[in-house]
């Protein structure tokens, strides 16, 4: 048996190194095991359920669902054993036995034996009724999970109801044979301020502020640009039972505006100056306009933007365009062809218990991309609002004949990031397969291969293919080993010719030399070739990356297979400390085409403030919940400084003392691999429960930066290259370091009155607001020329403009005052009043740091009926005025009113007036996810009606 196991491991390693088979993410295996375990549990087969949940913890040691089941089943077993012992003792006391009681005889239950009290299920605990929830309703703590009493032989003991985090709807779905049919329906209509009826107007990208806040073209209303979100949808989902072995099937058939794509034929247009460019208009059925896009010319590498061109009777309107280098191009009228693409997901599974799983997905969403759990996260590393790197296209390099230069090929996210439906779902698909093999509890093999397809590609066209493979082996109880391989191939001519190729191979190890203390290390090497089809300009990349960390948990507990982020206090622990020391090096030539570190290297802007505010529950009473909650987002709050071409050392230490105190200290020091100083960022944030009624929070951040270089912005950089943007307002030799100190308190006067206040003193004018609004004043051209190995290259040069209207280093300090009053006079009513006074009057509407007064009321007279209204009076130095030199502060009024009626649990009617700061129909990634942001600063006179139903 051991030989067979070794042969299997050897076969996996050989497959890793010499083949490029990629497959299903471990999260899918965990999901399968949980479903299998819960099915055993529901059938009363608790031993089998316990086995499956233990397997889950091998793959994902901190899985809350599996841990809850295991703990509760074990407690039930202990209680059974105790009760049986008491029964035997009672029986022996009444009738002393001469001979030992046979082991297999079931004890009789004496009426004098006290049985465990089984509380009836309190359904209210499963509903988001209280107003203490964060961001989205959370599952109740384990102590609050209601218990049911399925029969266990010999005793009726408490066992857990299905955890709320895994709770499925109670709708009885149609079943045809083994196929379960479910889905949803939405119908919508609206009316604008002119009394015009709206039946179909939606575009998620309108939520993004970027360039739209400076434009009034089409549906752009500058500061008041927003997605109307008016569209109809029919979604039908077909599934076979997940717990079944053998073949399974899944399909998502959706009919909505994004199921109808439209495009023109490709055309080459010539400018007045003689240059030329290949263009193709692309769009969806969500409006009467084609999408905007950027185009680069073929001879000069000049660039121009195609605006959102109107389509009339299937033909685009002729449009004149001026390029960056003032060349004039004419886009003629072009016929637009429609295509119906209703299939969003389609795959076939083959399962054999927890031993193996094969999934072939002809079309699927980015969720099928494999997220590796190696220390360097070599596959699918990204922040929460980014598109998966697996979705990006290969953009072929171009020879610029006029200048005799070459523009390198690159992985392009212009389509994968921007094409989303109004729910925020990305519309670039993946085609491929995944495979997972678990020959034993200590061994796993996972591989995934996939190629992206944008909505306008022919299915047979391929521009790149990528994959990731991971093998893990636990040796004894102290050592875990891993091998990871990622690969990506860029193609041209529809997939017939290879134009780029990158391979990354890495090995990692964890050694828990003392219980609760482990060392983790990984070594990775990459090799790549780009622009292979042009032998003169072909480039090679080669580099290494190294990771090392020490992780400690106290009180001591086994953490071999638990990452630092997932180490959490146990329910019965009054104190926990966890600390991590980390050192990471990535060569400039190191290449990870399936992961991106550009955004995860820095703090999320909302994490640089103290928060007491929580979105009102009204938003999350609907049929559809946001896909992420505050716990999910916390993993992205603090950056780690890690990126290509950097050396990072850092420490993170968190201490938790029951529910009364917690403190997080984090520090990182970053240099380039050439030794140039980049930054040192230190923070300390603490929360103290001073009394039962008073909670205090404190936050301190110090970001030490090197002296500025004239003309280079110290904070805003290109997300593709990592190069900092040019900014003519930056002077040489000034100190751009940032310091923030903040203190907040919340006092609960009564059960229904809570008051909070925050004071912040800082000189952070950019990172604390996500570079908004000054980062919007950005443009680019292709005028940056450089040389490598004697060859002349040209790349895009991004620059900021009108920055003289914003503070420059050294940045002066300013004050921010925030206050909020939460009133819950009844269990059906919630009122929140808030106020912000910010000396930095250019702070905009993406967070509650904008100067404003606000009042919102949620009233739920019953589970079927809900009302919500929000009024905000804000004051802002409007950006369109600022760039003209006018810094006058202007007042804005915004009101939003909503009524929701749910006659049954599976359907609802909504009527809305105006645009809400946050609501589940349209989610904006540019807004503060913790609440307080505004989609628009003025009242939008629009009425929207929705009918939604799940089936």
Measured over the CA atoms of residue 714, residue 716, residue 722 and residue 726, the dihedral's sign is negative
pLDDT digits (tens, 9 = 90+) for 403-452: 899 999 999 999 999 899 988 899 999 999 999 999 988 999 999 999 99
Closest CA to 469 of 480, 484, 482: 484
Mean pLDDT confidence for 664-677: 97
23 pLDDT exceeds 50?
Answer: no
Range of lowest pLDDT (12-26, 204-218, 234-248, 620-634): 12-26
Measured over the CA atoms of residue 550, residue 553, residue 559 and residue 562, the dihedral's sign is negative
pLDDT at 783: 73
pLDDT at 70: 81
- Identify the DSSP state of 938: S
In contact, 819 and 852? CB cutoff 8 Å: no
pLDDT, averaged across the chain: 84
Percent above pLDDT 90 for the chain: 64
pLDDT digits (tens, 9 = 90+) for 331-346: 999 999 999 999 999 9
Which residues in 307-365 belong to E strands, given as ranges?
Answer: 311-312, 315-316, 319-322, 328-331, 337-340, 343-352, 356-364
Closest CA to 279 of 261, 298, 259, 260: 298
Range of lowest pLDDT (616-620, 646-650, 718-722, 817-821): 616-620
Higher pLDDT pick, 134 / 748:
748
Q: What's the rounded Cα separation, in Å, for the pair 160 and 72?
A: 6
In contact, 864 and 902? CB cutoff 8 Å: yes
Higher pLDDT pick, 624 / 38:
38
Q: What's the rounded Cα separation, in Å, for the pair 344 and 342?
A: 6
pLDDT at 131: 27
pLDDT at 659: 84
- Identify the DSSP state of 214: G
554 pLDDT exceeds 90?
Answer: yes
Higher pLDDT pick, 517 / 621:
517
325 pLDDT exceeds 50?
Answer: yes
Higher pLDDT pick, 830 / 52:
830
892 pLDDT exceeds 70?
Answer: yes
Q: What's the rounded Cα separation, in Å, for the pair 171 and 154?
A: 34
Measured over the CA atoms of residue 600, residue 606, residue 612 and residue 613, the dihedral's sign is negative
pTM above 0.95, yes or no: no
Range of lowest pLDDT (269-273, 357-361, 545-549): 269-273
1 to each of 6, 7, 15, 438, 440, how far by Cα in Å?
Answer: 9, 10, 21, 15, 11
In contact, 664 and 699? CB cutoff 8 Å: no
Cα 449 to its chain centre, rounded Å, is: 22
pLDDT digits (tens, 9 = 90+) for 360-398: 999 999 999 999 999 999 999 999 889 999 999 999 999
738 pLDDT exceeds 90?
Answer: yes
Range of lowest pLDDT (129-133, 383-387, 478-482, 716-720): 129-133
Confidence of residue 81 (pLDDT cuts 50, 70, 90): low
Confidence of residue 5 (pLDDT cuts 50, 70, 90): very low
Contacts of 663 (CB under 8 A, 6+ apart): 654, 655, 684, 685, 686, 687
Instruction: Look at the chain and count its residues.
Output: 951
pLDDT at 336: 94
Q: What's the rounded Cα separation, in Å, for the pair 571 and 796?
A: 53
In contact, 474 and 560? CB cutoff 8 Å: yes
235 pLDDT exceeds 60?
Answer: yes
pLDDT at 758: 98
Higher pLDDT pick, 459 / 79:
459
Phi, psi (deg, nearest 5) at residue 59: -80, -35
pLDDT at 440: 87
881 pLDDT exceeds 70?
Answer: yes
Higher pLDDT pick, 58 / 596:
596
pLDDT digits (tens, 9 = 90+) for 502-540: 999 999 999 999 999 999 999 999 999 999 999 999 999
116 pLDDT exceeds 70?
Answer: no
Confidence of residue 151 (pLDDT cuts 50, 70, 90): very low
Confidence of residue 682 (pLDDT cuts 50, 70, 90): very high
Higher pLDDT pick, 239 / 129:
239
In contact, 338 and 248? CB cutoff 8 Å: no
Mean pLDDT confidence for 173-191: 92
Higher pLDDT pick, 630 / 317:
317
Percent above pLDDT 70 for the chain: 82
753 pLDDT exceeds 50?
Answer: yes
776 pLDDT exceeds 80?
Answer: yes
pLDDT at 175: 87
pLDDT at 88: 58
pLDDT at 243: 82
Range of lowest pLDDT (12-21, 286-295, 815-824): 12-21
Phi, psi (deg, nearest 5) at residue 709: -110, 130
């Amino acid at each position: 048996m051991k030989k067979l196991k070794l042969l299997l491991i050897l076969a996996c390693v050989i497959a890793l190194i010499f083949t490029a088979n990629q497959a299903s993410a471990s999260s899918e295996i965990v999901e399968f095991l949980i479903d299998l375990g819960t099915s055993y549990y529901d059938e009363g087969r608790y031993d089998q359920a316990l086995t499956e949940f233990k397997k889950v913890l091998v793959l994902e040691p901190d899985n809350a669902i599996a841990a809850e089941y295991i703990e509760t089943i074990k407690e039930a077993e202990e209680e059974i054993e105790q009760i049986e012992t008491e029964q035997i003792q009672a029986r022996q006391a009444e009738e002393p036995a001469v001979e030992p009681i046979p082991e297999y005889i079931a004890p009789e239950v004496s009426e004098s034996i006290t049985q465990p009290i089984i509380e009836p299920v309190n359904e209210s605990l499963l509903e988001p009724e209280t107003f203490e929830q964060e961001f989205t309703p959370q599952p109740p703590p384990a102590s609050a999970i209601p218990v049911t009493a399925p029969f266990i032989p010999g005793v009726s003991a408490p066992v857990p109801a299905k955890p709320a985090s895994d709770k499925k709807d109670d709708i009885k779905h149609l079943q045809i044979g083994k196929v379960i049919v479910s889905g949803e329906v939405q119908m919508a209509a609206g009316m604008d301020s002119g009394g015009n009826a709206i039946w179909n107007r939606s575009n998620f990208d309108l939520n993004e502020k970027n360039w739209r806040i400076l434009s009034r073209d089409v549906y752009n209303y500058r500061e008041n640009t927003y997605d109307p979100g008016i569209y109809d949808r029919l979604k039908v989902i077909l599934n076979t039972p997940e717990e079944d072995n053998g073949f399974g099937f899944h399909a998502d058939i959706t009919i909505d505006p994004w199921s109808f794509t439209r495009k023109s034929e490709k055309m080459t247009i010539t400018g007045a100056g003689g240059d030329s460019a290949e263009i193709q208009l692309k769009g969806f059925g969500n409006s009467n306009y084609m999408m905007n896009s950027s185009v680069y010319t073929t001879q000069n590498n000049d660039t121009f933007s195609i605006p959102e061109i109107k389509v009339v009777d299937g033909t685009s309107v002729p449009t004149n365009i001026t390029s960056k280098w003032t060349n004039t191009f004419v886009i003629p009228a072009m016929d637009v062809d429609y295509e119906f693409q209703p299939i969003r997901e389609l795959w076939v599974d083959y399962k054999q218990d927890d031993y193996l799983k094969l999934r072939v997905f002809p079309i699927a969403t980015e969720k099928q991309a494999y997220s590796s759990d190696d220390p360097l996260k070599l596959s699918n590393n990204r922040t929460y609002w980014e598109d998966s790197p697996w979705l990006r296209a290969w953009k072929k390099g171009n020879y610029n004949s006029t200048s005799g230069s070459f523009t390198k090929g690159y992985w392009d996210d212009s389509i994968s990031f921007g094409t989303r439906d109004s729910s925020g779902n990305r519309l670039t698909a993946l085609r491929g397969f995944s495979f997972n093999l678990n020959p034993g509890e200590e061994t796993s093999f996972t591989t995934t291969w996939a190629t992206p397809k944008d909505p306008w590609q022919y299915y047979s066209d391929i521009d790149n293919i990528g994959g990731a493979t991971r093998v893990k082996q636990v040796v004894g109880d102290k050592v875990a080993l891993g091998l990871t391989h990622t690969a990506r191939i860029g193609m041209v001519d529809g997939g017939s010719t290879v134009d780029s190729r990158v391979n990354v191979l890495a090995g990692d190890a964890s050694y828990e030399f003392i219980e609760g203390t482990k060392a983790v290390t990984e070594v990775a090497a990459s090799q790549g070739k780009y622009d292979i089809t042009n032998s003169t300009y072909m480039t090679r990349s080669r580099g290494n990356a190294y990771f090392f960390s020490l992780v400690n948990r106290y009180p001591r507990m086994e953490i071999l297979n638990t990452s630092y982020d997932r180490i959490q206090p146990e329910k019965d622990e009054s104190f926990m400390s966890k600390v991590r020391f980390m050192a990471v090096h990535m060569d400039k030539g190191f290449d990870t085409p399936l992961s991106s570190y550009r955004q995860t290297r820095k703090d999320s802007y909302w994490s640089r403030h103290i928060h007491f505010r929580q979105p009102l529950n009204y938003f999350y009473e609907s049929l559809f919940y946001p896909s992420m909650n505050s716990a999910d987002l916390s993993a992205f709050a603090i950056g780690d400084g890690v990126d290509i071409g950097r050396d990072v050392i850092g420490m993170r230490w968190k201490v938790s003392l029951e529910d009364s105190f917690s403190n997080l200290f984090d520090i990182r020091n970053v240099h380039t691999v050439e030794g140039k100083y980049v930054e040192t960022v230190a923070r300390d944030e603490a929360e103290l429960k001073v009394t039962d009624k008073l909670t205090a929070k404190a936050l301190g951040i110090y970001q030490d930066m090197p002296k500025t270089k004239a003309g280079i912005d110290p904070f805003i950089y290109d997300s593709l290259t990592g190069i900092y943007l040019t900014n003519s307002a930056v002077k040489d030799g000034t100190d751009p370091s940032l310091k923030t100190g903040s203190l907040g308190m919340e006092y609960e006067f009564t059960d229904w009155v809570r008051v909070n206040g925050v004071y912040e003193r800082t000189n952070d004018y950019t990172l604390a607001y996500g570079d908004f609004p000054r980062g919007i004043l950005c443009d680019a051209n292709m005028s940056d020329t450089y040389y490598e190995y004697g060859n002349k290259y040209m790349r895009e040069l991004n620059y900021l403009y009108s920055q003289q209207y914003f503070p420059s280093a050294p940045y002066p300090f300013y004050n921010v005052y925030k206050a909020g009053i939460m009133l819950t006079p009844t269990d059906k009513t919630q009122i929140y009043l808030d106020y912000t006074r910010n000396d930095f009057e250019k702070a905009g509407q993406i967070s509650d740091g904008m100067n404003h007064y606000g009042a919102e009321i949620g009233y739920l007279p019953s589970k079927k009926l809900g009302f919500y209204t929000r009024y905000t009076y804000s004051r802002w130095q409007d950006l369109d005025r600022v760039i003209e030199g006018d810094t006058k502060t202007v007042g804005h009024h915004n009101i939003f009113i909503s009524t929701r009626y749910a006659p049954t649990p599976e359907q609802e009617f909504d009527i809305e007036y105006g645009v809400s700061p946050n609501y589940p129909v349209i989610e904006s990634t540019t807004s503060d996810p913790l609440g307080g942001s505004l989609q628009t600063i003025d009242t939008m006179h629009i009425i929207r009606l929705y009918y939604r139903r799940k089936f």
